[in-house]
Amino acid sequence: MPEVDYAALAKVVDSLTENETDEVALMATLACEIHHSDDRFDWTGFYRVTAPGVLKIGPYQGGHGCLVIPFGKGVCGTCAQTGEVQLVDDVEAFPGHIACSSSTGSEIVLPVRGASGRLIGVLDIDSDQPAAFTRADAEGLARVLEAAFGNGGHWR
């Protein structure tokens, strides 16, 4: 069971981002709020699509992240390429995992789309605990992202 009250988190994010349309400002706010919402979250941040097939580090909380990740490489690149949530209980068992931090045990990565449906990046959350994330986390985080960036949110 997730420790985060995602409904409450979505309300806080909604109030903090009201009328904001800049995607980097939205990412910075979400990275901070999500990171501090749960002790399981060791690194929380965004990788932005900056060119075809390329993710670059965006706003984040925690230690340093990788600067560039090609689509199809590691957990984040796989999420960007497939458009599917990646829920990884053991990063060492993930083929081609990119170790940005040696303390990462498990990871969840979600695609981030603007209102038009265009992939603008991925949300990456690492935990130093194994199997830290559940489908309930994926669903709750997807709702927070949709509210901030999707058709129902502030992104236009």
- The pLDDT tens digits of the residues spanning 101-143 come to 777 889 999 999 987 889 999 999 999 999 999 999 999 999 9
Q: Which domains does the chain have, with CATH numbers?
A: 6-149 (3.30.450.40)
Q: pTM of the full predicted structure?
A: 0.92
Going 111 to 133 to 39 to 93, the CA torsion angle's sign is: negative
Among the residues of 2-123, which ranges form H helices?
A: 6-16, 23-35, 74-82
Residue tagged 């979400």 (tokens): 30
What residues form DSSP beta bridges with 45? 60, 124
Q: If you write DSSP's letter for every residue of 100-126 in order, what string do you get?
A: S-TT--EEEEEEEE-TTS-EEEEEEEE
Q: How many CA atoms lie within 13 A of 138 on its CB side?
A: 15
Amino acid at 2: P
Rounded to 5 degrees, what are φ and ψ at 59?
-60, 140
Rounded distance, CA 108 to CA 87, Å?
Answer: 5
Digit-coded pLDDT (tens) for 32-90: 999 999 999 999 999 999 999 999 999 999 998 899 999 999 999 999 999 999 999 99
